[in-house]
Amino acid sequence: HQSLRLSGDTDRCAGRVEVWKNGKWGTVCDDSWDLRDADVVCAQLGCGKALRVTGQGGLFPPGRGPVHLDELNCTGNEENLWACPGVQKESDCGHKEDAGVVCSGSLMFSATTAGVTVVTTALTTPSSPTAVPSPELLSIMVLSLAVLVLFILNVVLCLLYRRRHVYLLQQTRSNQRASTEHPQNHYKENLNLEEVSPIPPQTDDSQRYRTDLNPSVNPSALSSFDEDGESL
């Protein structure tokens, strides 16, 4: 009954703790579960030291079957979990409280360690001299910059053309309005001028026959009349 395994993960050194008892695999409750208890599990499986313990809401899914151990209080030097003080009968825990562990021999820890090693190596390795870009790369960079400049100029010219078009359109509309209003004003001015200008006096044709304007032009026949209007 001292057999033990880690389940719920593809890594043999990380998972939910399960022990064998009475022909059944059962779980361990996470009450009082700590690194000293987990060290016993990792040492028994040959997975090094315990790095992390999990419980309710942890990394691994809940198990099935009975809960064989509860309230463990290991020192970390025991050969197996059954040698640790704790409750081994009638546990009140459910499978949502199954205990788990991540040992130092797990692939998860190895990947993390490898990432740390890579970062550390990159930080400690002296930087190499700055490489000079090739002519092809420089040509591509210059061409890209030229295309970008042309694009910006095109956008600016389009904006200027649009503003000029709007301005000319407004000017055309203003001129059309002024041309429609100008003939009416001109007609009113001519009408006012005609009303104000004086009418020239008409000449009387009868004045051409007046004889009293100049005595020297009187007809000789009139001089033969005396004052009484009789003929001399």
Q: List, for residues 185-198, the tens digit of each pLDDT value.
A: 555 545 454 444 45
Query: What's the pLDDT score for residue 52?
Result: 93
Q: Which of 76, 57, 46, 49 is nearest to 16 (CA)?
A: 57
Choose the weakest-confidence range: 47-56, 100-109, 122-131.
122-131
Query: Rounded mean pLDDT of the chain?
Result: 75
> CA torsion sign, 107 to 113 to 115 to 118?
negative
Query: Residue 36: which pLDDT band, with cuts at 50, 70 and 90?
Result: very high
Alpha carbon of residue 191 to chain centroid: 67
Choose the weakest-confidence range: 12-16, 55-59, 219-223.
219-223
Task: Name the residue with higher pLDDT: 231 or 175.
Answer: 175
Amino acid at 43: A
Q: How far apart are CA 77 and CA 59, in angstroms?
A: 26
Q: Which two tokens stand for residue 214?
A: 């100049």
Contact status, residue 42 vs residue 101, Cβ threshold 8 Å? yes
- Beta-sheet strands, E only, within the chain: 4-7, 14-21, 24-28, 50-54, 67-69, 100-103
Query: What's the pLDDT score for residue 92?
Result: 78
Looking at residues 8-24, what average pLDDT do you find?
Answer: 91
Query: Residue 217: which pLDDT band, with cuts at 50, 70 and 90?
Result: very low
Contact status, residue 109 vs residue 87, Cβ threshold 8 Å? no
Q: Which of 89, 102, 11, 8 is nearest to 54 (CA)?
A: 102
Q: How far apart are CA 42 and CA 51, in angstroms?
A: 9
Reply yes or no on whether the pLDDT at 179 is more than 90.
Answer: no
Alpha carbon of residue 221 to chain centroid: 120
Give the pairing type, strands 50-54 and 100-103: antiparallel
Reply yes or no on whether the pLDDT at 146 is more than 60.
Answer: yes
Winning range, highest mean pLDDT, from 64-78, 114-128, 179-193 = 64-78
Query: What's the pLDDT score for residue 169?
Result: 85
Reported pTM:
0.47
Q: Which two tokens stand for residue 17?
A: 């703790």
Find all residues with CB under 8 Å of 64, minimum gap 6, and list them.
95
For residue 129, give the DSSP letter.
Answer: P
Looking at residues 167-196, what average pLDDT do you find?
Answer: 65
Task: Name the residue with higher pLDDT: 120 or 203.
Answer: 203
Reply yes or no on whether the pLDDT at 94 is more than 70.
Answer: yes
Separation in Å, CA 71 to CA 80, 81, 90: 15, 11, 12
Contact status, residue 69 vs residue 19, Cβ threshold 8 Å? yes
Looking at residues 193-222, what average pLDDT do you find?
Answer: 49
Query: What's the pLDDT score for residue 110?
Result: 57
Reply yes or no on whether the pLDDT at 34 is more than 90.
Answer: yes
Looking at residues 135-139, what average pLDDT do you find?
Answer: 80
